[in-house]
Amino acid sequence: MHQSKLIRILRKIPRIESKYITRFLQYTYPKNNITVVKLFKYLYKYHPKFESTKLAKESVFEKIFPDEAFKDKKMRMLQSDLVKPLEEYMVIEEIKKDKFLFQYILANALDRRNNSQYYKSVIKNLQKDLSDSNTPRSLFSYLALIIMNRKLLLHPATKQFHPSTRKVLDSTIANFYRFSVLANLQFMIEVFEREKDQESIYSLPFFKEAIEHAKDYASEDIIFEMYLALIDLVEKKDEQSYRKLKDLHAEYNNQVKHKVNNAEKTIFSQGLLQQGFYNEQRLVYIKLHNFIISKIYEDHVTYKAEQFELYKSGVENNLITNNNQIPDSTFINICISGAANKAFEWTENFITKYESYLDEACRPNAVALSRAFLHFHLKDFEKAFDFLNMVKEKDLPYNFRFRSLCVKCYYEFARKDDSYIQPLKDYIGNFKQFIKKSNLNKNRKLTYTNFCTFCKKLIGCKESNEGSTQETKHMLKEELDATRSIIAREWLVEKIEEL
């Protein structure tokens, strides 16, 4: 049962909801609730990992039906009997939280019961909220407007030739054009990033028309201006396009924040409409970050500060989490960026606040490595090394960062204590072998290999006492400047000065 659909559902149900589910099962399914509730309570004892051998089908069956011989078909049917109400519970909870979806389903229920007056009132209120000039737009909000307008137009009680109906029709057409233009732009942005021959993109159907229409709409709606700037960035990859998009993204974020923060118990408080805003914010956030990463790889070190500012914006606008979860790689990257930019208090607060958002399986390693980077930049190398020793897994997805930080810590120890020189050399040798056997691309391998080679040169200068001369420092700096592919360039420059 460990990999069954039922266990996959139960694994993601928070413990706080278990008592509500028990009540839901008891009152919603009275005929078979005794065995279903019994199964739920038995299985949920093993939440969240569900790794016990007592979860074998035979063991579970014996617990639920102690006086019967194991019957596979009966066990499968019982699992299905529990899956169905769990799915219904999750759907009901989502509808209760999403005011837009609740009102939309309510309208459909009223329509099926021929309650035309109340139905039209609900639809018009939704339409009014969505059309509010103070509401930022998203691809989904345009689609929602089209659906609301269409339901009004096609309803039997609507007076087809009344002037107000013509207004609804005009609004539907206008919103449909905006929706189609925005959808076109989104797809074209992805094509731009994948297509080497950018000239051929302009020959794709509707692309030029979408650009021209977007320019017309940009003065009315910031989302079109933002997408035009995004296309500029993806196409030109220049500083000016980046700055413009960054400013528009910040403005859009502020509009969304203002709307959502003042939207308690409205259709914008949470749910599909808020997710629509998130999707637009998140897409632009990712493209801005991709641009920054490309510049950092090109050794534009000033963009490391830009990266940290973008991370802070992502944290502030909830763009780094999805369903209250944050990938461990994102968590570590943010901590490294914060520590490298000397935002020590901010980074410590981030770790404390967001470590619970990490998956339990990777949390200890991610937090330990993040704290190791934080204390390294605080120049508390012993504490950094202590945290590195807490990282248990060997096959880490961020193994290269882990090992390169180990090299740095060993080097800092060797600067003050010669007994660490040989362990440093040994570790660098092992790291080089690890790099060679890895499946990194050729250029990434080169960046780490060059780092290891340069660290060996630095420790060699210390051993021979040659590093203290200005001539040696000058030669090392020139060599470092000439090495295009290398990690930790700023740290290496600092170590040359310290020779």
- Picking from 497, 485, 393, the residue whose alpha carbon sits closest to that of residue 446 is 485
**Rounded to 10 degrees, what is the CA torsion of 430, 433, 437, 441?**
100
- Picking from 342, 395, 333, the residue whose alpha carbon sits closest to that of residue 369 is 333
363 contacts: CB under 8 Å, gap ≥ 6:
328, 355
CA distance linking residue 79 with residue 492, whole number of Å: 59
Q: Is there a contact between 64 and 78 (Cβ–Cβ < 8 Å)?
A: yes
Count CB-CB contacts under 10 A for residue 200.
10
User: Does residue 241 sit in helix, strand or coil?
Assistant: helix
**Rounded to 10 degrees, what is the CA torsion of 179, 180, 186, 189?**
-140
pLDDT at 196: 64
Question: Cis (ω within 30 of 0) for the bond into 48?
Answer: yes
87 contacts: CB under 8 Å, gap ≥ 6:
9
Is the pLDDT assigned to residue 355 strictly greater than 80?
Answer: yes
Confidence of residue 198 (pLDDT cuts 50, 70, 90): low
Q: pLDDT (tens digit, 9 = 90+) per residue, 145-184?
A: 999 988 888 888 888 888 888 888 998 999 999 999 999 9
CA distance linking residue 236 with residue 287, whole number of Å: 13
Is the pLDDT assigned to residue 55 strictly greater than 60?
Answer: yes
Q: pLDDT (tens digit, 9 = 90+) per residue, 443-480?
A: 899 999 999 999 999 998 888 776 567 888 889 999 99
Q: 262, exposed or middle or buried, with CB in 10 Å at 0-12, 13-18, 19+?
A: exposed
CA distance linking residue 276 with residue 141, whole number of Å: 7
Q: pLDDT (tens digit, 9 = 90+) per residue, 206-231?
A: 778 889 999 999 999 999 999 999 99
Q: What are phi and psi of 325, to 5 degrees?
A: -130, 150
Largest CA distance in the chain: 94
CA distance linking residue 433 with residue 448, whole number of Å: 11
pLDDT at 246: 97
Is the pLDDT assigned to residue 499 strictly greater than 80?
Answer: yes
Residues 221-232 as b/e (b if ≥16 CB within 10 A, e otherwise) read bbbbbbbbbbbb
One-letter amino acid at 171 equals S
pLDDT at 197: 63
CA distance linking residue 304 with residue 205, whole number of Å: 39
CA distance linking residue 477 with residue 499, whole number of Å: 12
Give me the residues paired with residue 322 across strands: 325
Q: Is the pTM of this model over 0.75?
A: yes
Q: pLDDT (tens digit, 9 = 90+) per residue, 14-48?
A: 889 999 999 998 887 766 678 999 999 999 999 98
Confidence of residue 436 (pLDDT cuts 50, 70, 90): very high
Confidence of residue 394 (pLDDT cuts 50, 70, 90): low
Q: At what angle do helices 272-297 and 139-154 cross, to 10 degrees?
A: 150
pLDDT at 199: 66
In DSSP notation, 362-405 reads THHHHHHHHHHHHHHHTT-HHHHHHHHHT---SS-TTHHHHHHH
Alpha helices in 113-238 (DSSP H): 116-131, 139-154, 163-194, 198-201, 207-217, 222-236
What percent of the chain stands above pLDDT 90?
Answer: 70
Residue 142's Cα: distance from chain center in Å?
24
Tell me the average pLDDT across 127-139.
89
One-letter amino acid at 44 equals Y
| DSSP classification of residue 51 | -
What percent of the chain stands above pLDDT 70?
Answer: 96
User: Does residue 325 sit in helix, strand or coil?
Assistant: strand
- Picking from 420, 371, 363, 412, the residue whose alpha carbon sits closest to that of residue 392 is 363
Look at the block and give the residue holding tokens 């605080």.
Answer: 378
Triad 42, 43, 49: Cα angle to 5°:
140
